[in-house]
Amino acid sequence: MAIVTNAKTILEKSKSLIQEGEFGAAKVLLLQLLNHDPSNGRAWYAYSFVAETLDKQIDAVEKTLILRPDSQRAAYRLQKLKAQVEAITPNQEPADEAPAVAAPLAAEASDVEPVAEAEAVTVVAASHELLQDDLQ
């Protein structure tokens, strides 16, 4: 891969890589850019699509909003990511009810094919939002 020297080119290349499903390569470029220029709000926004976990994605979008407080797209993405966290965080059951609830759920879960959280979130997020040309 050719050496990419300016932020706009890196952002464009990382966007293309994400659209092609090359999340690892996009992540490498974005981390290089962020190490060189941690105040690049667009790079933080793009990184939020390739970060490994929801927590890291949320952190990246929060950094975006610090640097670009008027970014409606980043605010919307943050809201959606936080809703995903709430959706996957189990409700707290009283201790005496937890075993009765957990046993049937464990039986159902044994038939489910595991999917990496970051992989599923990244694919969905990249296919819906990053393609909107917010990085230009």
- Asked whether residue 1 is domain-assigned, the answer is no
What letter does residue 130 receive in the DSSP assignment?
G
Give domain status of residue 103, yes or no.
Answer: yes
Q: What is the CATH number of the domain that holds 86?
A: 1.25.40.10
Each residue's pLDDT tens digit in the chain (136 positions)? 444 468 999 999 999 999 999 999 999 999 999 999 999 999 999 999 999 999 999 999 999 999 999 999 999 999 999 999 988 877 655 445 445 544 454 444 444 444 444 444 444 444 445 445 455 4
- Asked if residue 35 is part of any domain, the answer here is yes
Q: Quickly count: other Cβ atoms within 10 Å of residue 99's Cβ.
A: 9
Radius of gyration of the chain (CA): 18
Separation of alpha carbons 122 and 27, rounded Å: 11
Question: For the chain, how many structural domains are there in total?
Answer: 1
**Is 71 inside any structural domain?**
yes
Q: Is residue 32 part of a domain?
A: yes
Expressed as residue numbers, the domain containing 95 is 7-108+117-132
pLDDT of residue 43: 96
- 40: Cβ–Cβ under 8 A, 6 or more apart, which residues? 7, 33, 34, 67
Q: What is the pLDDT of residue 133?
A: 46
What sign does the dihedral 58-60-61-65 (CA atoms) show? positive
Beta carbons within 10 angstroms of residue 25's beta carbon? 17
Q: According to the model, what pLDDT value does residue 89 have?
A: 78
pTM of the model: 0.65
